[in-house]
Structure 1
């Protein structure tokens, strides 16, 4: 795997799940509204605006956490929708965000972005699996890999 591919994978492993969470209202209610949960909306904002992207200016993350111009456009729209919801949540609580009039737009844009990001990742994975430099996991030498563990009676 190239250094560029490793960089984008390391960023997307954070960005894609956050976008998926934004597109999933049941997840938001079940996880973000419970104080003992491992994830909240503050985490989402840090991932998208501070740590792994900048949803206000996503162009500079093309090739870092975003794969295509379409992802950049949708991320900018998502950033604007999140900022609009923030303006409607004066106490900055997760419950206020989920009740904000702008929140359905956040969910809709996140849904479109999630679909595009997952499709782009699947295309990248398919290309990687077609790369002759990447070993085929189904063509491993006898006695190695998972097949050696799963076939009883062939072991030592």
Structure 2
């Protein structure tokens, strides 16, 4: 893969961190707050509901965009299933949470692989 450079590398770092954190279910204890990670994926570093415009900015490949869209679908399903003003426990114990961690794990693998393979011409 030839990396022509991301225009928003600091936001790429935030994106990768958010995805890794969502994928690491071992870090998700009673004090885990998913809100900042969800904000990163839905507004700050990428729009997981429509990630294609982020190609070249915080996403490197169409495959990353496709998996990000899958994560966006899981996030939307999760957010709509939550009660109003959800607690941290509501997030982590919802039946819609495991698909988020699974999809995030697949995306994390791809993001890290692509970051390790990236080089400039």
Q: TM-score range by the shorter chain?
A: 0.7 to 0.9
Contact in 2 for aligned 1:8/1:66 (Cα 8 Å): no
Looking at both structures, which has the greater relative contact order when contacts are Cα pairs under 8 Å and sequence separation is at least 6? 2
Q: Which of 58, 62, 67 is residue 69 of structure 1 equivalent to? A: 62
2:95 is equivalent to residue 101 of structure 1: yes
Provide the aligned C-alpha RMSD in A: 1.7
Partner residue, 2:15: 15
Q: Which of 70, 74, 82 is residue 75 of structure 2 equivalent to? A: 82
Contact in 1 for aligned 2:48/2:71 (Cα 8 Å): yes
Distance of 1:115 and 1:8 partners within structure 2: 20
Of stretches 50-59 and 79-88 in structure 1, the one that deviates more from structure 2 is 79-88
Contact in 1 for aligned 2:6/2:58 (Cα 8 Å): no
Deviation for aligned residue 1:82? 1.0
CA offset digits 1:46-100 (Å, max 9, x no partner): 1111111001100110111110111101101101101111122213222111111
Task: State TM-score, norm by structure 2.
Answer: 0.88
| Structure 1 segments (4+ residues) deviating >6 Å | none
Counting matched residue pairs gives: 117
**3-state SS of the aligned residue for 2:28?**
helix
Distance of 2:48 and 2:64 partners within structure 1: 11
Task: State TM-score, norm by structure 1.
Answer: 0.69
Gaps of 5+ in 2: none
Gaps of 5+ in 1: 132-156
Q: Is the radius of gyration larger for structure 1 or structure 2? A: 1
